[in-house]
Amino acid sequence: MDYEEVKLIAGNSNPALARLVSNIIGIPLTQSTVTRFSDGETQVEIGESVRGRHCFLIQSTCPPTNEHVMETLIMIDALKRASAKEITAVMPYYGYGRQDRKVSPRAPITAKLVADLLQTAGATRIISMDLHAGQIQGFFKIPFDHLYATPVMLNDMRARFEIGDNLENDLVLVAPDAGGVERTRAFAKRVGAGLAIIDKRRAGPNVAQVMNIIGDIEGKRAIIIDDMIDTAGTLTNAAEAVASRGANGVWAYATHPVLSGPALDRIESSALKKVIVTDTIPLSEPCQASLKIEQLSVSGLVAEAIRRIHTDESVSTLFV
């Protein structure tokens, strides 16, 4: 790629991922500073000319989400006012993605609000990965490229569990809830594994939640597939349920490691052997030190998507 035409800009949310993408593409990160006034207001300054360039702003809106959303909007505005030709917001993790519909009569649809803010600020394209709800793409009137961490996870899964070309194995992939069935089925098909589904329900108010497992688990290595791990309550409860049904070990794969609140403690004390996540969100130091958590990088996938978008090549063929 000709970096005379392209500028890569890193926000404060995930500089390590931005550096990896920069190294892969071979384009240095554009000089920029993001600071805060004494009252907490964000100040941004782009240190190089971006006039007439295609700018890719790499910034996950991960915790602290409000700060990183505001930082993203201000950086986009700065690029627009500096006469950037195009501004692509590369958001591997889309904050507020779980608030994609009204769940009560007077609730907001915050995922749509964030979409409106990004477009108003001046973004001309969005790249994100493994949205909590795919229909969020419809909140935008600008192009939206939805990436999937599937290739990165499948490569690791094949190596870790020694999955051969004949696809005969003792694996069963587990959807932690009904909403994750489609995602889990796609993984299971690619690795020749069985499929199980956890059905969660309460018999009545203040009655403990019962987890029914649909599928053959006993004596098999079970892998739970999810898009994100927040407090890890759903994940660890699912792991305990699977283990109690006679699984020969329980692992988990998830794209976004939010890992807030008691998540780490829950994972450490759970039946899970390993939790494999990606670097769409940086891990805290305690999570990095955990022997149960491993992190894969999606930098190669993001870098290739950026290259293809700039050269007007197909992005969807990355996942064929």
User: How far is residue 314's CA from residue 130's CA, in Å, rounded to a whole number?
Assistant: 18
Q: Which of 33, 9, 42 is nearest to 123 (CA)?
A: 9
- What angle do helix axes 65-81 and 110-121 make, rounded to 10 degrees? 20
Pick the catalytic residue from 200, 273, 274, 292.
200
Cis check for the bond before 108: say yes or no (omega within 30 of 0).
no
Q: Which of 127, 128, 126 is nearest to 117 (CA)?
A: 126
Structure tokens at 263: 């998540």
CA angle (68 as vertex; 142, 57 as ends), nearest 5: 50
Q: Which residues contact 187 (CB under 8 A, 6 or more apart)?
A: 150, 153, 154, 157, 173, 193, 223, 225, 253
Q: Which of 154, 265, 171, 266 is nearest to 215 (CA)?
A: 171
User: How far is residue 294's CA from residue 286's CA, in Å, rounded to a whole number?
Assistant: 12
Give the pairing type, strands 272-278 and 293-296: parallel
Establish whether 102 is a catalytic residue. Answer: no
So which residues are the catalytic ones?
Answer: 200
